[in-house]
Structure 1
Amino acid sequence: MSSTQQVNVLAIASCKPEFTQEFIEFFKTIVKESRKEKGMIKYDLNQDSVNPNVFYVCEEYKSMADFEFHKTTPHFLSMVKYVEGKVESLEIKLMKPIE
């Protein structure tokens, strides 16, 4: 993947049921702060329509450098700490758009 090519990310988090509502409220701040980043095209939190404890974070960055920068931000680092013990599983998929 080229460092200047758009990067799409899909993060799938399965939250422990007792933390679902807290997870949503916490992530509202993450979404708000992430959308302010230079190089951010899209950052959305979605909840599964069948299992309310499963969340999909759809992210689009202008480049790999922008994605790498995102991973150094205070809100990202706070999210990494926050999910410890609150999620049953977390899967991250890096993708490139087909044009």
Structure 2
Amino acid sequence: MVKVVAKNCIQEEKINEVIELYKELVEETRKEEGCIKYELYQDAQNPAILTMIEEWEDRSYLERHFKTEHFTRIVPMIGQFLAGDKEVNVYNKVN
């Protein structure tokens, strides 16, 4: 199992627009084979910080996800509204 935590700081005036983009990404991604969990969270202290928490059956499903139409279309749209560096961490489950 693979978990991903992807954290972005969004331009304040674009938060609502970006959330709508994320909603589409979540809806489409949840249909993918191998996707166990794909959820968007908003920081309780700073609403400009949005974090995706993902869970995949294994790394191969995650790699396929990066090549999907919705990912390659929506993620660059979100990227144009970043207010700083993004942070993406990928974790493998320890047995």
Match of 1:30 among 25, 30, 49: 25
Structure 1 residue aligned with 2:88: 92
Measured in 2, the distance between the counterparts of 1:23 and 1:76 equals 14
Structure 1 residues 23-68: Cα deviation after superposition (integer angstroms, max 9, x where no partner): 1111111000000000000000000000000011000000110000
Matched, 1:83 2:78: yes
1:1-99 equivalence runs, <5 A: 6-88=1-83, 89-99=85-95
- Residue 87 of structure 1 aligns to a residue whose secondary structure is coil
Unmatched 5+ stretches in structure 2: none
Q: Number of residues paired by the alignment?
A: 94
State the Cα RMSD in Å. Answer: 1.0
Q: Percent identity?
A: 33
Give the match for residue 3 of structure 1.
none
Q: Give the TM-score, by structure 1 length.
A: 0.90
SS of the equivalent of 1:59 reads strand
Note the C-alpha offset of 1:78.
1.1
